[in-house]
Amino acid sequence: EKLRVAVLVSKAALQFIHAVTPAPSEYTVPSEVKNAGFGICADELGNIVEGHDIKKLKGHGGIEGIANMLNASITDGINATSDTLKVRQDIYGLNRFTESPPRGFWGFVWEALQDMTLIILGICAIMSLIVGITMEGWPTGAQDGLGIVASILLVVFVTATSDYRQSLQFKDLDREKKKISVQVTRNGYRQKISIYALLPGDIVHLSIGDQVPADGLFISGFSLLIDESSLTGESEPITINSDYPFLLSGTKVQDGSCKMLVTTVGMRTQWGKLMATLSEGGDDETPLQVKLNGVATIIGKIGLFFAVVTFAVLTQGLFNRKLQEGTHLNWSGDDALELLEYFAVAVTIVVVAVPEGLPLAVTLSLAFAMKKMMNDKALVRHLAACETMGSGTCICSDKTGTLTTNHMTVIKSCICGNIKEVSNSHEKESICTEISDSVLKILFQSIFNNTGGEVVRDKDGKVEILGTPTETALLEFGLSLGGDFQLVRKECKLIKVEPFNSAKKRMGVVLHLPWGGFRAHCKGASEIVLASCDKYIDSTGKVVSLDETSTNHLNNTIERFASEALRTLCLAYLELDDFSSDSQIPTTGYTCIGIVGIKDPVRPGVKESVEICRRAGITVRMVTGDNITTAKAIARECGILTDDGVMARSSPLDKHTLVTKLRTLFGEVVAVTGDGTNDAPALHEADIGLAMGISGTEVAKESADVIILDDNFSTIVTVAKWGRSVYVNIQKFVQFQLTVNVVALVVNFSSACLTGNAPLTAVQLLWVNMIMDTLGALALATEPPNDELMKQAPVGRKGNFISNIMWRNVLGQAIYQFIIIWCLQARGRKLFQLDGPDRDLTLNTLIFNSFVFCQIFNEINSREMEKINVFKGILGNYVFLGVLLCTVIFQIIIIEYLGTFANTIPLTLPQWIMCILFGFFGMPIAALIKMLPV
């Protein structure tokens, strides 16, 4: 909406400027532009295109005049050498948008400091410092306050470092999203370059589904419709032609094709100017993050209640003690410090209770998965797709390019009723000898004119075929029969082109013949084009009416080709006496030239991947625009074919309907693949839209959640595996964190109520909070996927995130830890034979140390929620091992060297061993708990 308003304001401003500014009698070329050898500056070009100024365009000699001023040719593009490109860049700029500077590390530190509970703790620390130093002097009185400050800073810096690293990861992924290549003519030949390398004077070739990469002018093309909704919000497409030739960056080709002369690039385009005024927002929260934020809020409220009650009980204990001592009217600095400590403990209970690590774990896991999936040829555009794919129950896959290799070759043909094996060189030669020259001429005319492809020579002079795999296969077939692409194209004038689209399943052109008259050529889905024919060319080369026998022969040929898993196309033509470019190409009365069978081999590994999906409870459905017989043959080869596993001759609307019904009526979590512009509605409707990176149009990619960079079905299975891994990893972390939450809350609350003091201090609780939040998330959320994940049933749409298995593990482990800590509180002095003035401090240190080691070993337990063997693959997860090692090292430092700040005292070796054993015994307990049925 902001973008639309900005465009309308921009247009209104331009119209006002044009209205009040008198037109100059003659344009003056700036000296720096003139010295560089150009005849027009970037601002003038921008005014022409952005202002849609036809008068000014004509004043500069039209499109050819503009091209000449840019030292370019509308046929050969620019003459590009490293030196000339540098000069052009200096004058006209680069095709890049200015990005807002990334937030630095200190920005994330500042953000982490905004946490309300940390602010309250900071206030407590300042008050503690003031009262302590006033009463006891420096440094003794500052120890408690500095301990809290140090803990807060540690939490802040660890959180900021984690967030900063994630921001760098997402920036890298965002850069990958913007990598787009375009077909241009430079130095007289077609080539593919990055949109960032585009310069004014380049000739860009656009077709259905492409995004216009810069502002420019229409040179030539057919039936060009441009969707400007991304700029203006208008849903109606704009017709672009020589009368209205203005193309704007950021818009999309809805239909047709064209050649465009680039005029302005980067920040000088209308899109670039608007991007400068708008800041791009980050990813919205994913559904799981929203759900877990809700869980965190509920737990936080419970924690707040416990904190208030704990503070009230501790404060009441202090009042009762002073009442008994008769000092209730005399309050000292020590009493104030004690009250402050109680308040700090209460606040820290809230800090521990609020599981802010839940959304952090989701982000960490998703960021980790996104980075790894890039290596596995899957680019995630929306974070939510990672987790949603883990719940997927159904994949509706395209056939061409996804299940098959998309390397097409004409294998068989039926020209003039004669079936030939084109792959056999001898039979291929016989095609030319057995059919008449006139028929061969019509065949070449059909192949070379009725195409979206092109035959060009590269800079080394080698022949290169450009276009879709289907077009490439047909052009290659025409060339192999001895056809000359350029010669055939020059013989006739192209009057009208109706490009192929998935709805019509046909493509048509009309040619103006050199000897007078017109001829329409049509090609497309065999049974559809054949139904438009009432005549065919027989084996003698004569045009005869289609009777029942010949129709049956052609239909049987289509079925025979299709049963061999060949994609069939029918070629036909129609003689016309008269035709206008404004007329529609006729759809009936055609003469069938022949049928070709195109082989597109199944990708290696697809059958195995489909079987993996089946074992994982994911239904694979093939949705294709091909003939039903071809679809069945391919589906059998892939191992997909079931009663409801194939949908053939489907239109984009059919695919959209299928996806909608699967989601609404059957409650399926649906993943859909697509590559064409018309697939966008289905990709958008699906739970997970998967666009093809190689064959997919920019429109399809923009509608998708994940881009499959190698167009391979096996990669989709990898995405599903990573999705499940994300889901399970977050479940593991939630199980681990809920255990710590329950134990920490119950221990401090019950101790405060029963003994009048809390065994875990504010500093100790902050350390535990960091173990279970940041470090726990880092350890458990980055577990790589394993093959076992694809042997489980999918969670589906209605599965509970916190399962009964998780509750069993949480409660079982929490009860064990609670018993250990209570035994230590009740019998710890006797068990460890503690006496002397430090016995209470030593006992509290033992409780704290045992509690931390219980969490360390429980972190290992949490690697598997159902399996007893929790060590499988642990040595391969360096992040997990690193987190465990760091936690242990820091724990040793806290106990042995930071006693003044952390309220601990150094322990003896036997005491250390006992604390570690208390934690370790949680592992066999966890194994026993996992045996309990739920």
Instruction: Please give the structure tokens belonging to residue 251.
Output: 């818009």
Q: Distance between CA 262 and CA 251 in Å, rounded?
A: 14
Q: 515 by DSSP, 3-state: which?
A: coil
Report the Cα 298 to chain-centroid distance in Å: 31
Maximum separation of any 2 CA atoms in the chain, in Å:
124
Q: What's at 607, amino acid-wise? A: K
- What contacts 370, CB < 8 A, 6 or more positions away? 169, 170, 173, 380, 383, 386
First-last CA distance in the chain: 51
Which H/E stretch holds residue 774? none
Catalytic residue among 210, 398, 600, 626: 398
Residues in Cβ contact with 801 at an 8 Å cutoff, skipping those fewer than 6 apart? 288, 291, 292, 731, 734
DSSP code string of 587-624: -SSEEEEEEEEEE-PBPTTHHHHHHHHHHTTPEEEEE-
Q: What's CA 835's distance to the chain center, in Å?
A: 62
Looking at residue 758, the DSSP 8-state letter turns out to be: -
Catalytic residue flag (residue 577): no
Residue 578 vs residues 296, 512, 681: alpha-carbon distances, Å: 74, 9, 39
CA distances from 614 to 642, 717, 791 (A): 12, 11, 9
Which residue, among 356, 352, 361, has the nearest Cα to 288 in the 3D structure?
Answer: 361
Tell me the three-class secondary structure of 387-414, residue by residue: HHHCCCCEEEECCCCCCECCCCEEEEEE
The answer to whether 513 and 529 have CB atoms below 8 angstroms apart is no
Cis peptide before 933 (omega within 30 of 0): no
Report in angstroms the alpha-carbon separations of 564 from 594, 631, 744. 18, 10, 67
Tokens 């509308």 appear where?
A: 74
Burial (CB < 10 A; 0-12, 13-18, 19+), residue 82, is: exposed
User: Which of the residues are catalytic?
Assistant: 398
